[in-house]
Amino acid sequence: MGELIQLIKDCKTNSSVEIWKMSGDQGDKWNEACVLLEQGGHNYIPQSEALRGPSYHSDIGIDDIEFRTGQCFGSYIFVETSGGSPGLKGSFLSPQLPSNQEACLHFWYNMNGAEMGNLDVIIQSTTGNGTTILHEFGNKGTRWFEAKMTIPSQTQPYKIDFQVTRGSGFKGDAALDDISIKDGPCV
């Protein structure tokens, strides 16, 4: 198992300072951490850094990061491909969304590993018909990619289906973060 490090980057000096770190095996449950930040008259950008351990047999997940000054980040989901067979699908469905209005879907995604499969984002109507609005496949490396798209007005209520299809082997994982769906077109 590797390390999870929380840093803050000072926007004025452009330097980063480590404010919290956890390393080693923490078991198979979520752990809570609280870190006090003193602003000191500067603006800061929080940064999370995960360092891989010596093997692929470990994962690090971050969820429900909260800043009590009003802004909140979260919505992290991860699809693990160590088990199962090629072509196996995993889905994350949004709550039901209303018809007859445009919506802006915004999220970040990561697809990493030599045997990475597909990520499809599908508008799923209540009648069962689906329209794919994003199709990505293969290894994209460790980089996170931003996706922002306007969903046209639908004639029926619908859900957004984030669907990951396992590739040819276990060396490929997908993650989604900061998912938001807002009324109106994307700007």
What is the pTM (predicted TM-score) of this model? 0.60
CA-to-CA distance for 121 and 124, rounded, in angstroms? 9
Q: Are 150 and 104 in contact, with CB atoms under 8 Å apart?
A: yes
Note the pLDDT of residue 70: 36
pLDDT digits (tens, 9 = 90+) for 110-154: 999 999 999 999 999 988 889 999 999 999 988 889 999 999 999
Two tokens, residue 33 = 């951490």
pLDDT digits (tens, 9 = 90+) for 5-26: 888 887 778 888 777 787 877 7
- For residue 79, pLDDT beyond 60: yes
User: Please, which pLDDT band fits residue 155 given cuts at 50, 70 and 90?
Assistant: very high
CA-to-CA distance for 59 and 26, rounded, in angstroms? 10
Q: Which class is 78-183 in CATH? A: mainly beta
Extract the runs of DSSP E, i.e. beta strands, from the chain.
3-10, 16-23, 44-51, 77-79, 89-93, 103-112, 118-125, 130-137, 145-151, 158-165, 173-183
Q: What is the residue extent of each domain of the chain?
A: 1-68, 78-183
Q: Are 76 and 140 in contact, with CB atoms under 8 Å apart?
A: no
Note the pLDDT of residue 39: 54
Give the dihedral of Cα atoms 25, 29, 30, 33; nearest 10 deg: -50
